[in-house]
C-alpha cells in the first residue's frame, strides 16, 4: 500500500494543550451511512507527549493494518472506549441523534475523563472545549486512533451479523448500499439488522411480502 498523502499530527490537540487541557479525547464513528448494523463511536485519549504514531484514518489502511494499529491504540492509550447505537435506537433518534448518544456513552466511560475533544466534524453537545474540523480522522492522531477502534469493532460486529443473517453479505459490504446488498434485499426482504428509517429500507417496508 502506498503511503497516504496526508498524515496526522498534533496540531488540534496542541491548541487545547496550550489552554491547559491535556487530556484531549479524539472521537470518531463508523457506519453512519450504512443501511444495516450499528453506528459505532470510539473515544481515545492518547498520551500527551507528542510522540509520532503510525495511526492513520482507517479508510486509508488495509484490514490487517487496521487490526494491528487498533491493538496498538488500546495498548498505548491513556483511556479508550467504544459504544454502539443499534438500528432500533437509530430509528428512534435518527442517525445523527443516535451517533451523538453513542458518543456521549463512550465519553462517559473514559477514565480519566477528557478535558477537551477533537472530533471528525461531529459537533457534539458538550460543555467541554470542542474542535470539530472536517477530515480530522486524517489530520489528528487522536481522531485517527478513534477511527481505528470504531472501524475494527464495527467490522467485527458485522461479521457476527453475517453469521446471524446469512445471505445478505454483511461480512463483505458491512451493511452499506452495495449492489450485492440491494440484490439480497430484493431476494430476502428486510431483516431485524436493518435500519427501518432509512429510505431504501423504508421503501421495502411498504411491500409486506418482502419482509422477514
Which positions make up the binding site for a divalent metal cation? 28-29, 120
C-alpha distances out from residue 4 to 24, 51, 121, 138, 139, Å: 24, 19, 21, 9, 11
Q: Cell triple for residue 36?
A: 444495516
Q: Cell triple for residue 135?
A: 477530515
Residue 167 CA, chain-centre distance (Å), reads: 25
Which positions make up the binding site? 28-29, 120
Of 73, 81, 126, 123, which Cα lies nearest the Cα of 99? 123
Amino acid at each position: 500500500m502506498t503511503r497516504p498523502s496526508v498524515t496526522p499530527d498534533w496540531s488540534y490537540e496542541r491548541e487545547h494543550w496550550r489552554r491547559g487541557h491535556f487530556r484531549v479525547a479524539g472521537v470518531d464513528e463508523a457506519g453512519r451511512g450504512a443501511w444495516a448494523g450499528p453506528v459505532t463511536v470510539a473515544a481515545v485519549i492518547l498520551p500527551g507527549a507528542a510522540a509520532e504514531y503510525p495511526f492513520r484514518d482507517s479508510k486509508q489502511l488495509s484490514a490487517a493494518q487496521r487490526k494491528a494499529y487498533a491493538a496498538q491504540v488500546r495498548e498505548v492509550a491513556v483511556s479508550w472506549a467504544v459504544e454502539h447505537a443499534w438500528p432500533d435506537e437509530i430509528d428512534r433518534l435518527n442517525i445523527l441523534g443516535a451517533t451523538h448518544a453513542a458518543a456521549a456513552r463512550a465519553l462517559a466511560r473514559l477514565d480519566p475523563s477528557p478535558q477537551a475533544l477533537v472530533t471528525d466534524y461531529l459537533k457534539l453537545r458538550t460543555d467541554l472545549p470542542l474542535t470539530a474540523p472536517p477530515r480530522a480522522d486524517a489530520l489528528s492522531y487522536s481522531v485517527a486512533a478513534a477511527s481505528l477502534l470504531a472501524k475494527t469493532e464495527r467490522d467485527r460486529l458485522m461479521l457476527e451479523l453475517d453469521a446471524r443473517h446469512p445471505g445478505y453479505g454483511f461480512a463483505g459490504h458491512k451493511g452499506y448500499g452495495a449492489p450485492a446488498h440491494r440484490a439480497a434485499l430484493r431476494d430476502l426482504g428486510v431483516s431485524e439488522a436493518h435500519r427501518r428509517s432509512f429510505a431504501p429500507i423504508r421503501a421495502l417496508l411498504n411491500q409486506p411480502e418482502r419482509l422477514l
